[in-house]
Every structure is written in structure tokens, then in C-alpha cells.
Amino acid sequence: MWQVGTNDALMHIPVDDFRATVGETLRWLKEREVDTVLVGLQYTLIVSKDPHYTAIRIALRDLAASEGVLLIRRYEAMEFIEKAKRGELTSPDGLHANDLGYRCMAEHIARAMVVSAFLKGKFAKKRG
């Protein structure tokens, strides 16, 4: 599991540099037959209005699709929970997760991986 992108977006790393580095690393992992799951950027109200943050999120989503890697859409999950008013997910600094935020993220990742494993098995049987 590779949680990537949040710090790059916050530091305003150029999108092309981010895309090149992550893409190169994903190909390196694939060549070595390392199963990889990407965990996307986190959501907070603060970052939801930053166009660069959005550009990094889109770049990561596009990379996952083009490289055939599972992407856990953490941002969307956290945004949904927050808008559903299920509880505050961030610590007082408005950026880092609190205990509920980390629990929600862990549960979401676990579910996504289980679903992905079943889908992989289903498609592998059809090809075989």
C-alpha cells in the first residue's frame, strides 16, 4: 500500500513531476511483480478549494487507471462521511486525521481491497 499525493499537493510539486515520479515507480514495482495498492489524497475542507490539490488527485487517478493499479479513493470517502455529518474526521489543525478519521480510512481501505480481490478472482476465472 502506497499512500501518495497529499504532501506533494500541499507542497505544490508540479503535476508533471508528480506524474513522472509516481508513474516511474509504479512501472518499477510492476516489473518486479510487486502488488501495489495506491491510497489517494485525504479530504479536508481546507484542501477542497485548492486547484493544485485537485490536479494532483486527478493525476493520481489517471496514473492508477493507466497502470492498472487499484486506487483507494480516500478523498471521496472522507468527503462523503464529512458531508453526511457522521462526525469530524480531522484533528484541530484542520488537516490531519483524528481517531475517527483514521478508523474510517482503515475500514474503507479494507473494504476496497476485499472487493478488489473478489473482482480479480472473478476476472481471472473468465480469462482462464
- Identify the pLDDT of residue 128: 44
Write the pLDDT tens digit of every residue in 59-110. Answer: 999 999 999 998 988 888 888 777 776 667 778 887 777 888 788 778 877 8
Stretch (H or E) spanning 23: helix 15-31
Close Cβ partners of 56 (under 8 Å, ≥ 6 residues apart): 5, 8, 9, 13, 15, 18, 41
Give the span between the Cα atoms of 78 and 53, in whole angstroms.
15
Check if the beta carbon of residue 44 is closer than 8 Å to that of residue 10. Answer: no
Give the span between the Cα atoms of 34 and 66, in whole angstroms.
17
- Identify the pLDDT of residue 74: 85
Integer angstrom CA distances of residue 37 from 12, 64, 86: 24, 9, 26
What predicted TM-score, i.e. pTM, was given to this entire model?
0.76
Which domains, and CATH codes, for the chain?
2-127 (3.40.50.1110)
Give the mean pLDDT of 2-7.
93
